[in-house]
Amino acid sequence: MVSKRKKLVNELDDVFQMYIRYRDGWKCITCPAEIDPFQDNAKSLMHAGHYIDRGNYKTRWDEINVNAQCKNCNGKEHWTKDKSTYALKMLDKYGREALDSLEAKKHGLSGFSTADLEEMKEKYARKLEELL
């Protein structure tokens, strides 16, 4: 049985990741790949790639930390742990200060309450709806 909190985290992940794909126009941050969002397997071909691993809850739903990334680039980045291409693209997109802030954030204190998670889920559902 999945706990209520785990279910909420999964729902937040789903809506946040879909928001990221639409925000980025289904275009990979690290290569020129583009995916048609109406394609049957679009979600499996274009991921929401995390620069700082999604296991870090402090940055898991950070809009700078997560960018549309094709399956190949996300897999390559994940398995090799070589984030240099991703880092360079993020520097171009967000700047050094934003990346430094993200790195500092991953070491910060605090977690998210259930209310925080529910609020973020609603926030990204609204933002996704605005994009659609």
Domain boundaries, the chain: 4-131
pTM of the model: 0.86
Average pLDDT over residues 34-45: 96
**Are 126 and 19 within 8 A, CB to CB?**
no
Whose CA is closest to 26, among 127, 131, 122? Answer: 131
Distance from C-alpha of 41 to C-alpha of 80, rounded to nearest angstrom: 25
The pLDDT assigned to 63 comes to 97
Distance from C-alpha of 25 to C-alpha of 14, rounded to nearest angstrom: 17
What are the tens digits of pLDDT across the range 77-122?
555 556 788 889 999 999 999 999 998 888 876 678 889 999 999 9
**pLDDT of 24 strictly over 90:** yes
Query: What is the length of the chain?
Result: 132
The pLDDT assigned to 39 comes to 94
Task: Calculate the alpha carbon distances from 86 to 37, 48, 65, 119 in Å.
Answer: 22, 13, 10, 29
For the chain, the 3-state helix, strand and coil shares in percent, each to the nearest 5, are: 55, 10, 35
**pLDDT of 19 strictly over 90:** yes
